[in-house]
Chains A and B, each alone.
Chain A
Amino acid sequence: MRINIKYFGQIAEVTQKEEESLEFSGIFVSDLLNSLFSTYSELKNTSFKVAQNQELISNTTKVTGAEIALLPPFSGG
């Protein structure tokens, strides 16, 4: 399954891109993250939450959707 992954804020700075498309099948969010951690080691030191098809989900959720987003908290005002 082709998954489009969107990166926001400081996450996009780590990945050097705002989105990318990757091929996965039968995985959980935690597996997807481990795969991203091996590509972008700096991600491990970054705070973020994961959304699947525009809905916030936990790391134990199965990846079934077409779009995953990595959302960091912003503090600026």
Chain B
Amino acid sequence: MIKKKQYLTNKMSRYSRHIVLSEIGQIGQDKISNAKVLVIGAGGLGCPILQYLTAAGVGTIGIIDFDVVELSNLQRQVLYGTSSLGLNKAIAAKAHLQNLNDAITINTYPEKLTHLNALELFNSYDIIVDGSDNFNTRYLVNDACLITNKPLVFGAIYKFEGQISVFNYNNGPSYRCLFPNPPEKGTAPNCSEIGVLGVLPGIVGSMQANEVLKLILEIGNVLSGKLLCYNALTCETSILKIKRNALAVSAVLKTQHNFKNTQIETGCEIQVANLNIQDAIAQENIQFIDVREAHELPKVTDLDITYLPLSTLETNLHKIDLLKKKALFCKSGMRSKHAVSVLHNLNITNCFNIPQGATEIINFIKERNKMISNAK
């Protein structure tokens, strides 16, 4: 009993600077405690979003990210330190955030958001926040928000500029009302190699966290029907008005019964790098990935193979070792080439195609084994 009382006092004290605001008060703070917010991506945008929502006391926070922390992330992804390198971002973020506020529930999903898991996941939350880093995920998030009727707090960045909006709120426009379809191949950068000023996602992510709190508290003017464009170099902001496009919205809603079968679109055309069998086998830190379907023969033996059929690639990304070089193969190099391109668009890099295919790999290993036994 004493413990509970103490906890309540602590709670009053922790959020006192919120509670003292007449626009929030205890009622508003209770709204924050009861809110459930899902953050897509715990990267540049996700870190500040998560940090402020956790500090504010959002009662349930979901974090979905399949990626691991790399050294080049630390320049802007402020939840992580050198001790987080190689760890899954959702899990590493939770470890940091739970220390910031242990009174909230943080659910981690160390997996890729896909058409298969999106609807069910979104249904468990009130507000969805997009901090992803590629067009495929952004359109998936938008469409799943339309189908599950959840407000979407959108943020995206490019070098020194940011875009922020709240979509699908009170019958307001969606992302497709602004940009109806993903950009055609080669017409917009969609790759993780683009540079970005480290503080920019901090600014844009904080603006997203601000919109989330306004949605929860029902205060101020939510950035619905508007796109805020921010330029870090000029400190200029422009707010552009967006109208709801009923056709674009209804086209998405029509897909809801077949949503799980929707194929991922590849965003940017890439030059798929090939690796020959000899070089691949000579590498130590390499993962061999067979993208053929389960029934296809012959299987490659004498090598540690990860089986990731192209048809279910998107749902099995957790099997990919992000810290290793990846060598993909199929029967003749076509599907593995496509798979490398798909992975690249999901920002899974360091993937190579073995164009000769499984039979040639088997022959190579047979020859090598023969040579080894002859040499003995």
Contacts and interface: CB of A to CB of B under 8 A. Distances in A.
Are A and B genuine complex partners?
yes
Interface of A: 6, 8-10, 18, 45-47, 49, 51, 54-56, 69, 71-77
B46 A74 contact: no
A46 to B, nearest CB: 6
Contacts of B138: 75
Contacts of A45: 186-187
Interface string B97-133: 0000000000000000000000000000000001111
Given A47-B183, A47-B188, A49-B178, A54 B132 contact: no
B238 A6 contact: yes
Contacts of B132: 77
Contacts, number: 86
Task: Give the 3 A-B CB pairs with smallest separation, nearest first.
Answer: A47-B183, A77-B133, A74-B156
B151 interface: no
Contact of A77 (B43, B159, B227, B241): B43
A18 B236 CA distance: 11
A55 B178 CA distance: 11
A8 B156 CA distance: 13
A56 B133 CA distance: 24
B196 A72 contact: no
Nearest to B204: A77
Contact of A46 (B43, B187, B201, B229): B187
A75 B156 contact: yes
30 contacts: A8-B231, A9-B159, A10-B188, A18-B234, A45-B186, A45-B187, A47-B187, A47-B188, A51-B240, A51-B241, A55-B240, A55-B241, A69-B238, A71-B227, A72-B188, A73-B183, A73-B188, A74-B161, A74-B162, A75-B133, A75-B135, A75-B158, A75-B188, A75-B190, A76-B194, A77-B41, A77-B131, A77-B132, A77-B157, A77-B201
Contact of B134 (A9, A46, A75): A75
B310 interface: no
Given A75-B133, A75-B190, A47 B184 contact: yes
Contacts of B178: 49, 56, 73
